[in-house]
Amino acid sequence: MLTITIAIFIPFLAAIFVPFIYKRVHSKHIGWFVIIVPVTLFIVLASFIPAVSKGKTYIHTIKWIDSAGINFTTYFDGLSMIFGLLITGVGSLVILYSIYYLSEREALGRFYVYLLMFMGSMLGVIFSDNLMVLYVFWELTSISSFLLIAFWYHRKKSRSGAQKSMLITVSGGVGMLAGFIILHTLTGSYSVREIIATIGQYTDESLFIPAMLLILLGAFTKSAQFPFHIWLPDAMEAPTPVSAYLHSATMVKAGIYLVARFTPVFGGEAVWFYTVTGVGIFTLFWGSVNAVRQTDLKALLAYSTISQLGLIMSLFGLGSAALNGGYSADSVIYTQATFAALFHLINHSTFKGALFMVVGIVDHQVGTRDIRRLGGLMSLLPVTFTIAVIGSFSMAGLPPFNGFLSKEMFFESVLIIRNLDIFAMGPVWGSLIPVVAWLASVLTFVYSMLLVFQTFLGEHQPDRLDRKAHEAPVGMLVAPAVLALFVVGIFFFPNVVGKYLLSPAMAAVYPPFEGAEGLVPHISAWHGFNVPIMMTIGVVVLGGLLYLYLRYWRGIYSIAPMRWSLDSLYNGLISQLEKGSTFLTRTYMTGYLRDYLVYIFIFFIVTVGGGLLWTGGFSIDLSNDALISINEYIIIFVMMAASIAIIFAKSRITAILLNSVLGYSIAILFVVFRAPDLALTQIIVETVTTALFLLCFYFLPEWSKEKATRSLKVGKGIIAISVGTVVTVLALIVQGNKMFESVSVYFEDAYELAGGKNIVNTILGDFRAFDTMLEVVVLFIAGIGVFTLVKLKAGKGDEDVEDK
Amino acid sequence: MKINDVILQTVTKIVVFIILTFGIELFLSGHYNPGGGFIGGLVLSSAFVLLYMVFDIETVHKGIPFDFKMIAAFGVLLAVGTGLGSVIFGAPFLTQTASHFNLPVFGETELSTVVLFEAGVALTVVGVVVTIILSISEDV
């Protein structure tokens, strides 16, 4: 279906037009133009719900690099539909919110361009079927989120936060790329669907597990799982709408998506089960522990997001147990974890999105997010308070909010896993998971209460606030209110979500189980008086006590000094890296061109010449060479004379002219060998570069002969002669040995294939047009590089732009 | 650079047109004879370079009031864009096609999409070369 493919590109296309519209409108109303894009996409995607819920899937291929198996294939099924609806739906609300949230003085054009770019890349990630295309979009989300986090780039913290998130997620992405390539070499396909269909044959390969771990690395870094979670709190330097969008609803869930998408591929493996579940559970726990200690509301939400992502991740891990040993009536009960994961995914997007917006409103209205300065805002911001209560009670897992339902299912899943006897799951380890999960839930309850009660109840301290508190404008409240409505609505009608959204997604995660009984359980708010409900009661009781007596036990956080954290480890590594590379760069970047040439030449001599000597397997065969004519001898001798004369040139002009003698002689040589294209190019390039040289040297100081010692001269002589020898020997070897068929055979039917009689041009324009295209791009970048280096020099007063 | 050479200036005024014509001829004939976008672009830019060297920048700028950075950017977009054109018709990226047409003045002529691609290359080359030369020469 072409619609899905177009849906990916619409945000990018819209992004191109935003600057032009912004130039005309130039006010905060630009957002109203932008919001059309996600709303339309949401409606279009929503119109697919009836068909997809009946099990229909859509696929569309646009040929791209067909010869390498890389095609732009989009695949639309239940799983990508959920994510697509979240991205466009929450995206619309976030844009609506930012129209009122961001002030007119901000660079709004830039903001919306980044946001649309991000939206398009996210849609690309979830709709691509081809691994390479998926990877491209994956890294595009990293780049666009980098730009969004660094939106206030004049702040040092924003820049370092953006750098951190980019470093971590991109390195994870590169690992994932390696995993994809391994998977391709194993299965011979880049298509996720094809890999899923044939994966059974490859599970015994030795590279199967490394590929899995590398792909998980990408998923874990993106989804801020322990120990890669450290970038998420720093990413909170972004404007709040960005945090609401990227760091709760979409980007961080790309990793979750990847895990869900690859569950049919790797889910049957014990390593997958343990890694995903273990990392998820620990992240859940660690995030909730750290969330309680935060005093900044946004930091609190950041850690809570980490924790909730861990929860979803662990559920996918638990759910993968069903795939071990194939389909059976017993294994279906483990699929419930995956169901809970998908359910919680939706719920988390609704309540966390609302909470981020609430925090943004508080920040916007009173000017601080520090909970030590906040308090008593309930009567001043009543609507905001209501939304905050709905969001945080849902996060804590209390009825009547959707978080309660998925939380109960989570408890049920961790309890079920104790019965699992595959993978040598002993009773000790099996019981550890529910215990950790329960403890984490207690802490979740504590920080949820902290969030809402520390802000809105207690004593109002107007003198400690920057602004006089009053309720936000209606426009700013609409978006979180809509999300809050979903929070409540899903609680009362969970089975609508289950039937239309979750059941097709379940079929996508468990292709072998399609149509199995119990794959889509009935969700009910009251599920009897059983262990999960007891656990919830325990959470409320213990969590309530812990919240009330927080100031008595908060001291335990200061036991471990701050510098032991992972964050300081990262900072230490980065600063060491900076110091090391500064030292290294200072050592070899002397500022003398001749030194750089020496490095290059020595490297060349050692690798190529050394390689030749090392292998010793070279031979020179001159028997097939044609006779050298008298013309060629003359040209060669002219060239030799010119090159020797350069060494003894007394002035710069002489040197340049002698150099161009060399260049023109090569052109004549091309003429002699009947290569008119090359000769023409050489002549013109030589002309233009000579002019350029003369121009450059016009501005240079007087040519002064350097006073070199004899040993230095000898050393340079040796290097020069060795380079010459290596090149000559190499050329002779290449001439005498033919290991492969000549490439010219490939171009013999150029006229039939490309319709051109000029073979050079058919190569440039047809056979290797991709090379030419990229060369043009490189040329352009080089030109812009020269321009910026020469023209855009910072003035003397501009040096302290860096740190503010 | 201050140059005041009457002979050079007079000759240049004529020669530039010959070079420009030659550049366009090279560019158009590239499919069957020596030439093509890259060489055509280089020849064109050498004509501009000659102009800039013989006359001063302000004078030339009055005659050719183009922003050569924009020309380079347009060229890159054109070269990349023609690749996308084939995607719309369901062919792999950068597939080129050609066909014969009977045009009123030229008679039977072959029109090829490669020309568009090569035009992108030529414009980029012109834009980049002139941009580099201008920015270096203006930097005192």
pLDDT score recorded for residue A21: 85
Give φ, ψ of A301 to 5 degrees.
-65, -35
Q: Do A773 and B92 touch (CB under 8 A)?
A: no
% chain A with pLDDT above 90: 27
Count Cα neighbours of A41 within 13 Å in the Cβ-side half-sphere: 29
Contacting residues of A for B69, CB less than 8 Å apart: 783-784, 787
Task: Compare CB distances from B39 to A677, A699, A773 and report the shortest one's residue.
Answer: A677
Q: Which two tokens stand for residue A280?
A: 């998820």
Q: For residue A692, is pLDDT > 90?
A: no
* Alpha-carbon distance A667 to nearest alpha carbon in chain B (angstroms): 14
pLDDT score recorded for residue A804: 44
Q: Do A772 and B98 touch (CB under 8 A)?
A: no
What is the greatest pairwise CA distance in chain A?
104
Average pLDDT over chain A reads: 85
What HEC string does A335-351 produce? Answer: HHHHHHHHHHHHHHHHH
Q: For residue A532, is pLDDT > 70?
A: yes
Task: Compare CB distances from A695 to B92, B118, B137 and report the shortest one's residue.
Answer: B137
Average pLDDT over residues A565-571: 81
Q: What is the pLDDT of residues A632-651, one digit of tens each?
A: 999 999 999 999 998 888 88
Cβ-Cβ contacts under 8 Å for A527 (sequence gap 6 or more): A408, A533
% chain A with pLDDT above 70: 95
In this prediction, residue A706 has a pLDDT band, given cuts at 50, 70 and 90, of low
Q: Which two tokens stand for residue A569?
A: 């480890």
At residue A231's C-alpha, the angle toward residues A225 and A234, to 5°, is: 140
Taking a C-beta distance cutoff of 8 angstroms, is the pair A570, A164 a contact?
A: yes
pLDDT score recorded for residue A795: 59
Helix, strand, or coil (residue A782): helix
Q: What is the pLDDT of residues A374-426, one digit of tens each?
A: 877 888 888 889 999 999 999 988 888 888 888 888 888 888 877 766 555 56
Q: Look at A557 and A437; give whichever has higher pLDDT.
A: A437
What HEC string does A497-530 produce? Answer: HHHHHHHHHHHHHCHHHCCCCCCCCCCCCCCCCC
User: How far is Cα A197 from Cα A272, in angstroms, rounded to an integer?
Assistant: 19
In this prediction, residue B74 has a pLDDT band, given cuts at 50, 70 and 90, of very high
Torsion of CA A454, A460, A464, A468, to 10 degrees: 110
* Alpha-carbon distance B119 to nearest alpha carbon in chain A (angstroms): 11
State the distance between the two ends of chain B, measured CA to CA, in whole angstroms: 10
Which of A8, A133, A779 has the highest number of chain B CBs within 10 A, making it the mutation to test binding with B?
A779
Q: What is the pLDDT of residues A494-518, one digit of tens each?
A: 888 888 888 888 888 888 777 667 7
pLDDT score recorded for residue A803: 47
Chain A / chain B CB contacts < 8 angstroms = 154
Q: For residue A108, is pLDDT > 90?
A: no
Average pLDDT over residues A31-53: 90
Q: Among B113, B26, B61, B135, which Cα is nearest to A696's?
A: B135
* ipTM value for the complex: 0.91
Helices and strands in chain B, H and E counts: 5, 2
Task: Compare CB distances from B83 to A63, A688, A773 and report the shortest one's residue.
Answer: A773
Contacting residues of B for A64, CB less than 8 Å apart: 87, 92-93
Average pLDDT over residues A776-801: 77
Taking a C-beta distance cutoff of 8 angstroms, is the pair A687, A656 a contact?
A: no
pLDDT score recorded for residue A216: 93
Contacting residues of A for B99, CB less than 8 Å apart: none
Q: For residue A25, is pLDDT > 90?
A: no
Q: Do A765 and B132 touch (CB under 8 A)?
A: no
At residue B115's C-alpha, the angle toward residues B114 and B120, to 5°, is: 95
Q: What is the pTM of this model?
A: 0.80
Q: Do A757 and B31 touch (CB under 8 A)?
A: yes
pLDDT score recorded for residue A337: 87
User: How far is Cα B70 from Cα B78, in angstroms, rounded to an integer?
Assistant: 12
In this prediction, residue A137 has a pLDDT band, given cuts at 50, 70 and 90, of very high
Give the burial class of B15: count Cβ atoms within 10 A of its Cβ; 0-12 exposed, 13-18 middle, 19 or more buried: middle
CB atoms within 10 A of CB A438: 16
Q: For residue A324, is pLDDT > 70?
A: yes
Task: Compare CB distances from B132 to A764, A766, A786 and report the shortest one's residue.
Answer: A786
Q: Range with the lowest mean pLDDT among A97-111, A131-145, A348-362?
A: A97-111
Q: What is the pLDDT of residues A442-494, one digit of tens each?
A: 999 999 988 888 888 877 777 777 777 778 888 888 999 999 999 999 888 88
Contacting residues of B for A698, CB less than 8 Å apart: 1
Contacting residues of B for A693, CB less than 8 Å apart: none
Which of A9, A136, A684, A790 has the highest number of chain B CBs within 10 A, making it the mutation to test binding with B?
A684
Contacting residues of B for A9, CB less than 8 Å apart: none
Q: Do B79 and A677 touch (CB under 8 A)?
A: no
CA separation, residue A14 to residues A33, A34, A126, B104, B121 (Å): 9, 8, 20, 41, 27
CA separation, residue A144 to residues A29, A166, A671 (Å): 23, 10, 50
- Beta-strand ranges (E) seen in A557-680 are none
Q: For residue A312, is pLDDT > 80?
A: yes
* Alpha-carbon distance A590 to nearest alpha carbon in chain B (angstroms): 23
Taking a C-beta distance cutoff of 8 angstroms, is the pair A380, A471 a contact?
A: yes
pLDDT score recorded for residue A180: 93
Q: What is the pLDDT of residues A386-396, one digit of tens each?
A: 999 999 999 98
Average pLDDT over residues A332-336: 81
* Alpha-carbon distance A22 to nearest alpha carbon in chain B (angstroms): 21
Task: Compare CB distances from A756 to B1, B32, B79 and report the shortest one's residue.
Answer: B32
In this prediction, residue A1 has a pLDDT band, given cuts at 50, 70 and 90, of low
Which of B39, B86, B89 has the highest number of chain A CBs within 10 A, making it the mutation to test binding with A?
B39
At residue A55's C-alpha, the angle toward residues A53 and A58, to 5°, is: 100
User: How far is Cα A306 from Cα B20, in angstroms, rounded to an integer?
Assistant: 63
Q: Look at A106 and A394; give whichever has higher pLDDT.
A: A394
Taking a C-beta distance cutoff of 8 angstroms, is the pair A185, A207 a contact?
A: yes
* Alpha-carbon distance A704 to nearest alpha carbon in chain B (angstroms): 21
Contacting residues of B for A761, CB less than 8 Å apart: 30-31, 35-36, 114, 118
* Alpha-carbon distance A106 to nearest alpha carbon in chain B (angstroms): 28
